[in-house]
């Protein structure tokens, strides 16, 4: 990595036995994204290690959701580079943001949205197995077995035949998590997945996320659940005005923020 691509965020604090630092699973190097004349991501650089949980926090409009969408190839970047596993997204490189590169990245990174985005005419199980059937070309029996296992994993084995309108918000979001896992990604991008839920239902979704963390899933989460970020994240990154303004462990960033921008944000949300 060149000097001008130096990571803003520190490496994971815990190295594997033997002292070797793992290769990053995700690297974002000096990424710029504009909407017209509006600069939304302004030279963002960070890395995420395999199995790490990173919480992205900060004020609305700071670029958090845009960053996730760039990672998942829902948006293309204007400059810089994104690396996910062995795959590179670089608008300056031939084929660097082409359909093949995007397809490979999407296979590695599942995406979960705040509004569930379930197919209303399909049951929970049908929602989960749709992509494995048509994208992975799994046999129907194999896809069904995988779907039932995943619904059991998120605590919804008894709701496989329920339609979205028969499910609570928390149950819908857990189906959305199972659907993302059905593609067997190595990481999940979670965009405010509890923002539409009441407090009781938030807990059941966050419990599933914590279980995924314990299983070693790489997680990048945009969240305003500061208590969850303090408890579950390995690292917290504050994004404001399209820039990373602070990065560190939860105790460093949440309990002892160093920058005025982070202090001002936390003073409004920690009430």
pLDDT tens across 230-247, in order? 999 999 999 999 999 999
61-83 confidence digits (pLDDT tens): 999 999 999 999 999 999 999 99
Record the pTM. 0.88
Please spell the DSSP secondary structure of 176-211, one letter per residue: HHHHHHTT--SEEEEESTTTTS-HHHHHHHHHHHHH
Q: What average pLDDT score do residues 18-30 get?
A: 82
- Write out pLDDT tens, residues 108-123: 999 999 888 999 999 9
Mean pLDDT of the chain: 89
253: left (phi over 0), alpha (psi -120 to 50) or beta: alpha
Q: Of the segments 20-29, 170-179, 200-209, which one has the largest average pLDDT value?
A: 170-179
pLDDT for residue 97: 64
Per-residue confidence (pLDDT) for residue 218, from 0 to 100: 97
Query: How is the beta sheet containing 187-191 ordered, strand by strand?
Result: 109-112, 187-191, 218-222, 53-57, 235-240, 243-248
Domains of the chain: 40-117+187-269 (3.40.50.300)
């Amino acid at each position: 990595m060149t000097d001008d691509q130096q990571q803003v965020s520190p490496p994971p604090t815990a190295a594997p036995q033997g002292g070797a630092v793992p290769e990053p699973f995700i690297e974002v190097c000096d990424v710029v994204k504009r909407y017209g004349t509006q600069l939304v991501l302004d030279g963002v650089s960070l890395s995420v290690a395999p199995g790490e949980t990173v919480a992205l926090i900060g004020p609305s409009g700071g670029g958090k959701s845009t960053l996730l969408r760039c990672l998942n190839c829902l948006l293309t970047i204007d400059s810089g580079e994104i690396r996910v596993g062995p795959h590179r997204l670089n608008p300056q490189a031939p084929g660097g943001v082409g359909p093949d590169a995007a397809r490979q990245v999407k296979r590695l990174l599942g995406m979960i949205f705040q509004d569930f985005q379930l197919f209303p005419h399909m049951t929970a199980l049908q929602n989960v197995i749709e992509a494995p059937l048509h994208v992975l070309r799994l046999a129907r029996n194999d896809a069904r077995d995988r779907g039932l296992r995943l619904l059991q994993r998120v605590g919804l084995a008894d709701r496989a035949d329920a339609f979205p309108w028969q499910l609570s918000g928390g149950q819908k979001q857990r189906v959305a998590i199972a659907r993302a896992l059905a593609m067997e990604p190595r990481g999940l991008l979670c965009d405010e997945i509890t923002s539409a839920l009441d407090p009781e239902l938030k807990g059941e979704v966050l419990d599933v996320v914590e279980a995924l963390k314990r299983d070693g899933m790489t997680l990048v989460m945009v969240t305003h659940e500061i208590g969850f970020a303090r408890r579950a994240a390995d690292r917290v990154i504050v994004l404001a005005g399209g820039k990373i303004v602070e990065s560190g462990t939860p105790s460093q960033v949440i309990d002892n923020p160093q920058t005025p921008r982070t202090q001002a944000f936390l003073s409004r949300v920690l009430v």
